[in-house]
């Protein structure tokens, strides 16, 4: 509880000091302070009522929006404090010094809030890469793997966005379509309408889905069943073999590590690859990039992950990097294994993306 209350106190305390305490007095000071106190109390209340037992969608929207707005205001207030120190050294006196910094922080924050909102709500950009897969048969050269991940269908209804994403995926003419986890936040009953368009994705060699950590915060078995109903193949510590022109490729998938809290769930890569021909290259769907450790040991050719959102709201990417080996893009691990980490197709929680654009990914496999 102390941590739950300390975080909003910090997020709002630094901006309050820079924007209110250092620049105002009298009624303006008390009015500004009241606004910050109200916001600091509303944030934990919204998060608890939205993400706690009550699962209020209205509270989710309030709490998540406040969280993202507070994080951005905190970030630029810290930068503003550094600038303020520079102005002190330069000999700029108060009240001009404090007012210049406060005005600059507010202008930058408002502008970036607008940009981040646009980036979160927009249809994702298409990111295309050619990836060489050792041992890939020539008949599979040019195979197109289209990846969406971290759609996080939630309290903000994005049905129209969902339909447009599916249209773009089909326009890309995938041979294989993959959803790398964090499909939705909430129950199937509340979010199924937003997910339903995924049933119209067309991919002749298969549509594959794995669980992310957020499925296990809600109703993982329900989402697995619903994706099966929509015609997707959940890969729960298992693999499928796809074939074209006599050449084969293993598509494997493992559960997210948070699944260990649910009986019968949790990642098991040896089980996923049991019975697979060791001479056939393996593409592994694993939600978190840090699962690459086991993929390297298993000599996987390519792991496809999401989870990080590319940091979603700068500079959060540097905190993500403390937990994950990669934040975004293509990387090599060990001697044979590559990892592609998507920045995600949607967004989690705060409806903002700052310097971390969303993506629909086309991975073209090459000999």
For every residue of 100-166, which 3-state class applies, written as one string? Answer: HHHHHHHHHHHHHHHHHHHHHHCCCEEEEEEEECCCCCHHHCCCEEEEECCCCECCCCCHHHHHHHH
Assess whether 79 and 177 both reside in one domain. Answer: no
Assess whether 142 and 114 both reside in one domain. Answer: no
As given in the structure block, the two tokens for residue 328 are 């975004």
Assess whether 150 and 113 both reside in one domain. Answer: no
Assess whether 109 and 201 both reside in one domain. Answer: no
Rounded to the nearest 5°, which phi and psi values hold at 285?
A: -95, 115
Residues 342, 216 contacting (CB under 8 angstroms): no
d(CA 98, CA 88): 10
Max CA distance (Å), the chain: 80
* DSSP symbol at 51: H
Domain end residue (candidates: 121, 147, 179): 121
Assess whether 211 and 286 both reside in one domain. Answer: yes
Assess whether 181 and 286 both reside in one domain. Answer: yes
- Residue 40 domain boundaries: 1-121
Assess whether 145 and 18 both reside in one domain. Answer: no
Does 363 have pLDDT greater than 90? yes
Assess whether 93 and 133 both reside in one domain. Answer: no
d(CA 76, CA 51): 27
Does 4 have pLDDT greater than 80? no
76 CB contacts (<8 Å, ≥6 apart)? Answer: 105, 108, 109, 112
Total tally of structural domains belonging to the chain: 2
Q: Kindly report, residue by residue over 117-170, the tens digit of the pLDDT.
A: 999 999 999 999 999 999 999 999 999 999 999 999 999 999 999 999 999 999
Q: Kindly report, residue by residue over 234-284, the tens digit of the pLDDT.
A: 999 999 999 999 999 999 999 999 999 999 999 999 999 999 999 999 999
Assess whether 16 and 133 both reside in one domain. Answer: no
Domain end residue (candidates: 85, 100, 121): 121
Domain end residue (candidates: 88, 121, 154): 121
Does 3 have pLDDT greater than 80? no
Q: Kindly report, residue by residue over 181-226, the tens digit of the pLDDT.
A: 999 999 999 999 999 999 999 999 999 999 999 999 989 999 999 9
């Amino acid at each position: 509880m102390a941590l739950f209350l300390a975080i909003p106190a910090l997020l709002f305390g630094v901006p309050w000091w820079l924007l209110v305490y250092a620049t105002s007095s009298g009624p303006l000071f008390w009015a500004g302070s009241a606004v910050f106190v109200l916001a600091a109390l509303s944030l934990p209340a919204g998060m608890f009522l939205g993400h706690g037992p009550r699962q209020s969608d209205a509270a989710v929207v309030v709490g998540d929006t406040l969280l993202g707005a507070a994080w951005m205001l905190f970030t630029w207030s810290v930068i503003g404090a550094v600038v303020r120190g520079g102005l002190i050294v330069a000999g700029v006196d108060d009240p001009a010094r404090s007012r210049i910094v406060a005005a600059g922080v507010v202008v930058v924050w408002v502008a970036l809030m607008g940009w981040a909102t646009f980036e979160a709500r927009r249809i994702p950009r298409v990111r295309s890469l050619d990836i060489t897969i050792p041992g890939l048969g020539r008949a599979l050269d040019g195979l197109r793997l289209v990846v969406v991940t971290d759609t996080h269908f939630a309290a903000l209804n994005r049905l129209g966005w969902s339909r447009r994403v599916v249209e773009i995926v089909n326009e890309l003419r995938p041979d294989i379509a993959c959803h790398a986890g964090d499909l939705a936040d909430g129950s199937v009953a509340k979010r199924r309408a937003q997910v339903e368009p995924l049933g119209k994705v067309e991919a002749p060699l298969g549509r594959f889905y794995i669980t992310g950590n957020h499925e296990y915060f809600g109703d993982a078995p329900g989402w697995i069943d619903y994706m099966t109903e929509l015609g997707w193949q959940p890969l729960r510590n298992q693999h499928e073999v796809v074939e074209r022109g006599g050449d084969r490729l293993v598509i494997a998938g493992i559960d997210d590590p948070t699944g260990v809290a649910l009986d019968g769930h949790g990642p098991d890569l040896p089980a996923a690859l049991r019975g697979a021909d060791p001479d056939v290259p393996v593409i592994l769907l694993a939600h978190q990039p840090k699962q690459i450790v086991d993929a390297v040991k298993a000599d996987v050719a390519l792991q496809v992950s999401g989870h990080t959102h590319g940091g979603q709201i700068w500079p959060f990417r540097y905190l993500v990097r403390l937990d994950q080996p990669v934040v975004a893009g293509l990387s090599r691990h060990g001697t044979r294994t590559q990892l592609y980490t998507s920045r995600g197709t949607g967004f989690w929680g705060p409806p903002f993306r700052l310097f971390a654009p969303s993506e629909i990914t086309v991975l073209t496999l090459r000999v």
